Structure 1
Amino acid sequence: MKLLEKNTDAGILILRLSIGILMLLHGIAKLSSGAGMIEQIVVGAGLPSFIAYGVYVGEVIAPLFIIAGYGTRIAGAIFAVNCVVAASLAHSADIFTLSQSGGWAVELLGLYFFGALALVFTGGGKYALSRKHLWD
């Protein structure tokens, strides 16, 4: 039972792998299908179209850094900002609504956001590729 006693670093590793891998799958889908849909949403909001390509930073690059545990705090912050942008551009009508099953309509996005925010505060933990700098 010693293994289960306050192993915060294992918990941080599980969090890093969970949100990193799951968001990376979204990013891979966007890599294969392109950013056309995102670009339409961005332009529809009156923003320059090149901003749509930031989705690759937030859904591919940041998750890879989070998974590796390199620059975890900065990658988590980028990931969290990506979630806020997605919520404001694509899910703004759902932010204050519940789904048919009674859950928050954007609960997956919320879990991603709060998981990334937790990593901003905790860093990558001892099972990270780097942990010597403030941004790790």
Structure 2
Amino acid sequence: MYLHRAVDKEGNTIDFYLSKNRDKKAALSFLRKVIGGNSAPLKISIDKSGANISALDHLNEEYTSKGKPPIEKRCSKYLNNRIEQDHRFIKKRVKPMLGFKSFESAKHTISGIETVRMIQKDQLSERNGMSNYEAFKSLAA
């Protein structure tokens, strides 16, 4: 399983997506999900994964055919550092579990971990004008 994550330049989590495979199809659906819920970015920093590069190239082809400006692609392990530093908190929680038995349990567990992490970074309270407790309570309901 592979966890796709989008983090902005301030370190705030934009979105995440868990897929069974790390391929072009999964990377493209993640990019579409992120861009669909937010505006299209000017630049994207990604690792040198062939799936990510191929998905972004495909997305840029769609954009240019619609007359939109293409998204600048930056492939560097140093530029990707902000995502890796934010990702360590998830790894810290998942590593002692020694993996997951099913995709569904992984999806629900990682969704909870990501939500708690967003609350810790005060992302949900800023968006909705709620306290951390109120944000967690609304998500748990």
TM over 0.5: no
Higher RCO structure (Cα 8 Å, ≥6 apart)? 1
**TM-score, scaled to structure 1:** 0.27
Q: Which has a greater percent of helix?
A: 1
**TM-score, scaled to structure 2:** 0.26
Q: Which has a greater percent of strand?
A: 2
